[in-house]
Amino acid sequence: MDLLNALVALLNFVVVPATAYGAQLALGALGVTLIYGILRFSNFAHGDTMAFGAMVTVLFTWLFQSWGIGFGPLPTALLALPIGILGCIGLLLLTDRMVYRFYRAQKAKPVILVIVSMGVMFIMNGIVRFIIGPGDQRFADGERFIISVRDFREMTGLREGLALKTTQGITVITAVIVVALLFWFLNRTRTGKSMRAYSDNEDLALLSGINPERVVMVTWIIVAALATIAGVLYGLDKTFKPFTYFMLLLPIFASAIVGGLGNPLGAIAGGFVIAFSEVTITYAWKKVLVYLMPEPLEPDGLVQLLSTDYKFAVSFSILLIVLIFKPTGLFRGKSV
Amino acid sequence: MSESLRNTIYFAIVALLIIGTGMIQSWNSALFILNMGLVSAIMALGVNLQWGFAGLFNVGIMGFVALGGLATVLTSMPPVGEAWAAGGLRVLFGLALGAATIVAAAFAYKRLDPGRTQTLVMVAILVVGFFVFRYVFDAGVEAVEAVNASTEGYLGGLGLPILMSWPVGGVLAAGAAWIIGKAALGLRSDYLAIATLGIAEIVIAVMKNEDWMARGVKNVIGLPRPVPYEIDLQNDPSFVERATSWGLDPVIASSLYVKFGYAVLFTIVLVILFVMAQAALKSPWGRMMRAIRDNEVAAEAMGKDVTARHLQIFILGSAVCGIAGAMITTLDGQLTPTSYQPLRFTFLIWLMVIVGGSGNNLGAVLGGFVIWFFWVQVEPMGHALLSFLTSGMEDGTPLKNHLLESAAHMRLLTMGVILLCVLRFNPRGLIPEK
Q: Is B55 on the interface with A (CB under 8 A)?
A: yes
pLDDT, tens digit, for every residue of B392-431? Answer: 777 767 777 777 777 777 777 888 898 899 989 988 888 8
Residue B288 identity: M
Hey, which CATH number is domain B3-79+156-425, 3.30.70, 1.20.1050, 1.10.3470, 1.20.120?
1.10.3470
φ and ψ at residue A284, rounded to 5 degrees: -85, 110
pLDDT for position A316? 85
Radius of gyration over alpha carbons of chain B, in Å? 24
Please give the ipTM for the structure prediction. 0.85
Mean pLDDT taken over chain B: 88
Q: Is B130 on the interface with A (CB under 8 A)?
A: yes
pLDDT, tens digit, for every residue of B36-57? Answer: 999 999 999 999 999 988 888 8
Residue contact B188–A246, C-beta within 8 A: no
Q: Can you give the residue ranges of every domain in chain B?
A: 3-79+156-425
A2-325: CATH class = mainly alpha
Q: Is B410 on the interface with A (CB under 8 A)?
A: yes
Instruction: Check if the beta carbon of residue B347 is closer than 8 Å to that of residue A118.
Output: yes
Distances (CA, A) of A56 to A49, A139, A231, B388: 11, 12, 11, 28
Output the CA torsion B93→B129→B140→A285 (10° steps).
170
Task: Answer whether residue A92 shows pLDDT above 80.
Answer: yes
Instruction: Check if the beta carbon of residue A120 is closer than 8 Å to that of residue B424.
Output: no
Instruction: Check if the beta carbon of residue B314 is closer than 8 Å to that of residue B186.
Output: no
Per CB-CB distance under 8 Å, the chain B contacts of A323 are: 183-184, 187, 191, 195
For A85, residues 6+ apart whose C-beta sits below 8 A from its C-beta are A53, A224, A225, A228, A229
Q: Is B127 on the interface with A (CB under 8 A)?
A: no
Q: Is A105 on the interface with B (CB under 8 A)?
A: no
Of the two residues A59 and B186, the one the predictor is more confident about is: A59
Task: Answer whether residue A335 shows pLDDT above 60.
Answer: no
Cα B58 from Cα B194, distance rounded (Å): 9
- Pick from B46, B29, B37, B49: nearest CA to B11: B37
Percent of chain B with pLDDT over 90: 41
Alpha carbon of A298: minimum distance to chain B alpha carbons (Å): 16
Q: Report the pLDDT averaged over residues B185-201.
A: 83
Q: Can you give the residue ranges of every domain in chain A?
A: 2-325
Instruction: Check if the beta carbon of residue B352 is closer than 8 Å to that of residue B372.
Output: yes
Using CB atoms, pick whichever of B183, B188, B411 lies closest to residue A335.
Answer: B188
Cα B376 from Cα B260, distance rounded (Å): 19
Using CB atoms, pick whichever of B138, B205, B423 lies closest to residue A119.
Answer: B423
φ and ψ at residue B161, rounded to 5 degrees: -60, 145
For chains A and B, CB pairs below 8 A equal 130
Strand partners, A164: A147
In what helix (H) or strand (E) does residue B215 lie, and over which residues does it extend? Answer: none
Residue contact A130–B406, C-beta within 8 A: yes
Cα A313 from Cα A250, distance rounded (Å): 10
Q: Report the pLDDT averaged over residues A18-29.
A: 94
- Pick from B203, B417, B183, B175: nearest CA to B315: B175
Tell me the pLDDT band of A333, cut-offs 50, 70 and 90: low
Total-model pTM: 0.88
